[in-house]
Amino acid sequence: LLCINRAIAEYLSRDLPYKLSSDDVFITSGCTQAIDVALAMLARPGANILLPRPGFPIYELCAAFRHLEVRHFDHLPEKGWEVDLDAVEALADQNTVALAIINPGNTCGNVYSYQHLKKVNETARKLRYPVIADEVYGHLAIGRNPFVPMGVFGSTVPVLTLGSISKRWIVPGWRLGWFVTSDPSGMFRKPKVVERIKKYFDILGGPATFIQAAVPQILKQTDEVFFKKTINILKQTSDICCDRIKEIPCIHCPQKPEGSMALMVKLNISLLADIGDDIDFCFKLAKEESVIILPGTAVGLTNWLRITFAVDPSSLEEGLGRLKSFCHRHAKQL
């Protein structure tokens, strides 16, 4: 266990201005368990947490179980899905326990610039709460912005870094993630806090031990060619996705994806004859064309769609062709 913790600490430290230790790292069954642990550690009576919209719905589910009030801040599509920091300041109060960000973005496909993350840090510092940095898509950056971990700013604001091997190494079924206190100033190293975290992990089931044993070698010895191949494929499929969407009048993509494996597109219901909303659209699309797209309502945006481009190029072309045919068939006749 110490060996895997050390390997993850060394891996994450490559991108930080300070060194993490094995004591900063806790192993989880995928990033989903890391999310639940983060919210469990921060929950207290009357507390609230600031979550992104659109965002990964597991956060809302975990918050409900922990009796944490959820307050949503919006992403700004016209600004590359940046955090609406004015809204964050308006939502926060003395009972706010954390701000959560997902970078690279699930569901928007955004990758925050260093300058924007610095502003997020400054806002969190001003309002005096930690940041939960969900970086499960870490390093899957395909646009102009390189991936910058939120832990870079950990010296001024404590950061809980959540991640896993599932996306960058494309092994989601292995269910191995991490919960890391990126906190060189030591807020989370107070004896009672560390003790509470360790005791909580004592009652949790971790990943299979043979997968844990493989992680140090996976992190240290995966060839850079493997990562470059993944990035090149995602660039290719994101281009296909955006190009084909331009051919569909009722769907608009406000921002080409910069990272992760998905993007959000706006659905113009007024151009369709017999579609009630995004949920109706997705159900009928699945029934008529056997194409599965997630309705935006599921991630917090009504009449938007979440499309994943982590698909073989030929299959993606086929699926988007079926999407175009479906939209043409249901278009209002002028």
Checking if the pLDDT of 186 tops 90, the result is no
Mean pLDDT on 225-251: 97
Residue carrying structure tokens 């994450």:
12
Sheet holding 262-267, edge to edge: 251-252, 262-267, 304-308, 294-295
- Specify the pLDDT at position 195: 85
* Spatial contact of 143 and 180, defined as CB atoms under 8 Å apart: no
Residues 296 and 148 in one domain: no
Residues 48 and 1 in one domain: yes
Residues 38 and 161 in one domain: yes
- Specify the pLDDT at position 190: 78
> At 193, is the pLDDT very low, low, confident or very high (cuts 50, 70, 90)?
confident
By residue range, what is the domain housing residue 248? 225-330
- Specify the pLDDT at position 41: 93
The verdict on whether omega for the bond into residue 295 sits within 30 degrees of 0, i.e. cis, is: no
Q: Which CATH number is 9's domain given? A: 3.40.640.10
- Specify the pLDDT at position 116: 98
Residues 200 and 278 in one domain: no
Domain boundary among 194, 221, 248: 221
Residues 135 and 70 in one domain: yes
Quick one: tokens of 287?
A: 């029934």
Torsions phi, psi for 169 (to 5 deg): -100, 0
Question: How confident is the model over 62-82, as pLDDT tens digits?
Answer: 999 999 999 999 999 999 999
Domain boundary among 221, 252, 282: 221
What percentage of residues in the chain have a pLDDT greater than 70? 99
Residues 112 and 68 in one domain: yes
Distance between CA atoms of 280 and 264, rounded to whole angstroms?
17
Of the listed ranges 18-22, 56-60, 204-208, 306-310, the one predicted with least confidence: 204-208
Residues 182 and 290 in one domain: no
* Spatial contact of 16 and 154, defined as CB atoms under 8 Å apart: yes
Residues 150 and 234 in one domain: no
Checking if the pLDDT of 180 tops 70, the result is yes
Number of domains in the chain: 2
pTM: 0.95
- Specify the pLDDT at position 330: 97
Question: How confident is the model over 89-109, as pLDDT tens digits?
Answer: 999 999 999 999 999 999 999
DSSP 3-state of 70: strand
DSSP 3-state of 304: strand
- Specify the pLDDT at position 1: 59
pLDDT averaged over every residue in the chain? 95
Residues 115 and 263 in one domain: no
- Specify the pLDDT at position 32: 95
Domain boundary among 178, 196, 221: 221
- Specify the pLDDT at position 194: 82
Q: Which CATH number is 318's domain given? A: 3.90.1150.10
Distance between CA atoms of 308 and 249, rounded to whole angstroms?
19
Residues 27 and 153 in one domain: yes
Residues 214 and 277 in one domain: no
Distance between CA atoms of 28 and 175, rounded to whole angstroms?
8
Residues 202 and 245 in one domain: no
Question: How confident is the model over 27-71, as pLDDT tens digits?
Answer: 999 999 999 999 999 999 999 999 999 999 999 999 999 999 999
Distance between CA atoms of 94 and 96, rounded to whole angstroms?
6
Bridge-based pairing state of the strands 131-134 and 96-102:
parallel
